Amino acid sequence: MSDFGRERDVWNRLGAEDPLWAILSEEQQQNNAWNVNTFFARGRLDAQVAMHLLDALEVRVEAGAFLDFGCGVGRVSQHLCEHFATGVGVDVAQPMIDLARDFNRFGARMQYHHNDASDLGLLDDASFDLVYSGIVLQHIPEDAAKQYLREFVRVLRPGGVALFQLPSHEQGLPPGGRALPEGAFCARLYADAGYLRGVPGEPVALRVIGRNESPHTWPNLLESDGEVFVRLGNHWLDAAGGEILHDQARCQLMHSVSPGQETHLGILVNLPERPGDYLLEFDFVEEGVTWFAERGSPTLRIPVAVAGERNVSPGSNEHLPDFGMYPIRRAEVEAVVRDAGGEVVAVCNANCSGPTWADYWYVVRRSDAEA
């Protein structure tokens, strides 16, 4: 059996036995322990961050039709549909598609199709204004993934945009070390939620918005060659403001942030394991240098009430097959896109494959000429 055939079988089994965990593989959510509302809240967050990234890069996308490649159960496409007139989702696993149709809130505006071929032959040329794909291509063998990239360009309308994520290579943790200019550590942070409530240990997805209030640009990792590495992090405080957990989660800047510009970041945090009242504190950190708060920048604090019994996974998924990880070097991705008739408009940091990966969002536009 080919590598593609093996992965297809793996995802069909995962889709049949634990579809939500297969998509968002949090350890505590194994064996169908995901709360459906929390799971789809993360999809809304990813859709919002994707649309903001395009806005921040000044990449205009027509609000006509979109394609969600590797749509799973519709986690992101159900929220992209709020921004587009129509949508199509495709996935290699029939059980995923069956669930996506069950979860569909948009009727005929959102269509889901099973596609177990290593191309997108079921879709017409020049059909979509946006092709979106996140945490999907990394689990597809290289030859098939490259064929799908060519197909992304083919199904885009002239001027259409593809936004897809793909890791390039493992690189270890960037060291940081060269400090931003003095005066650059000044941010304003806010979030959609002013108050949170949940059960002990529950994962919570939040969109945190950071505004650069300094006179200096915060470069992303790509532009700074690893010398400046700014990420969003969080701490947990008790109700009186005393720190009980320093440094839980991290989220990397996706794009450079100019003075006065905002960046939208999606971050998943786990609530404390004991009931009580807490404060969830967010701050920017320049790795290897300082937290912004240590230079006088205000943090964001969100009150959190934790009550009830801890969510405990009813079992592990050790019996399920592992899905593969198939990175493709950035230079090869860009070459495939160019050969297919696309233009790489931007390459941005992603936060999808783990902290040791060079992981990118690619923004690709199909030229006005026929590809």
**What is 2-35 written as a DSSP string?**
-HHHHHHHHHHHHHHH-HHHHHS--GGGTTTT--
Categorize the per-residue pLDDT at 177 as very low, low, confident or very high, splitting at 50, 70 and 90: low
pLDDT at 225 over 90: no
Domains, the chain: 3-171+315-366 (3.40.50.150), 187-306 (2.60.40.10)
- Letter for the amino acid at 276? G
Q: Which of 26, 128, 6 is nearest to 69 (CA)?
A: 128
pLDDT tens-digit readout, 17-34: 999 999 999 888 899 989
Mean pLDDT, residues 257-271? 93
Place of tokens 């400046």: 228
Buried b (16+ CB within 10 A) or exposed e, 248-269: eeebbbbbbbeeeeebbbbbbb
**Distances from the Cα of 69 to the Cαs of 50, 112, 182, 316, in angstroms?**
14, 10, 43, 28
The SS3 of residue 279 is strand
Q: What is the pLDDT of residues 277-294, one digit of tens each?
A: 999 999 999 988 899 999
Q: Tell me what the mean pLDDT of segment 131-141 comes to.
A: 96
What is the Cα–Cα distance from 285 to 289, expressed in whole angstroms?
8
What per-residue string of b and e applies to 66-93 under the rule 16 or more CB within 10 Å gives b?
A: bbbbbbbbbbbbbbbbeebebbbbbbbb
DSSP annotation of 80: H
CA distance 342 to 164: 13
Task: Calculate ∠ Cα 39-351-166, nearest 5°.
Answer: 100
Tokens 């550590």 locate to 185
Query: What percent of the chain has pLDDT above 70?
Result: 96
Cα dihedral 218, 223, 224, 229 in deg (nearest 10): 60
- C-alpha neighbours within 13 Å on the C-beta side of residue 191: 25
Amino acid at 300: L
Best-predicted range by mean pLDDT among 153-167, 214-228, 250-264? 153-167
d(CA 91, CA 136): 10
Asked whether residue 190 carries a pLDDT value surpassing 80, the answer given is yes
| SS3 assignment, position 109 | helix
- 187-191, strands of its sheet edge to edge: 187-191, 203-212, 262-270
For residues 174 and 143, the answer to whether their CB atoms sit within 8 Å is: no
What is the dihedral sign for C-alpha 241, 245, 251, 256?
positive
Residue 257 DSSP class: B
Q: Please tell me the chain's helix, strand, coil percentages from 3-state DSSP, rounded to the nearest 5.
A: 25, 30, 40
Query: 371 pLDDT band (50/70/90 cuts)?
Result: very low
Nearest Cα to Cα of residue 239 among 178, 192, 189, 281: 281
Instruction: Compute the distance between CA of residue 115 and CA of residue 129 in angstroms, rounded to an integer.
Output: 20
pLDDT value at position 260?
97
Confidence bin at 100 (pLDDT 50/70/90): very high
Answer whether residue 297 shows pLDDT above 50. yes
Which helix (DSSP H) or strand (DSSP E) does residue 42 occupy? Answer: helix 36-56
Residue 165 has pLDDT above 50, yes or no: yes
Do the Cβ atoms of 304 and 244 come closer than 8 Å?
Answer: no
Picking from 70, 262, 95, the residue whose alpha carbon sits closest to that of residue 152 is 70
Strand duo 203-212 + 262-270: pairing: antiparallel
pTM: 0.91
At 309-360, the pLDDT tens digits run 877 767 788 898 988 899 999 999 999 999 999 999 999 988 787 777 889 9
| Confidence tier at 250 by pLDDT (50, 70, 90) | confident
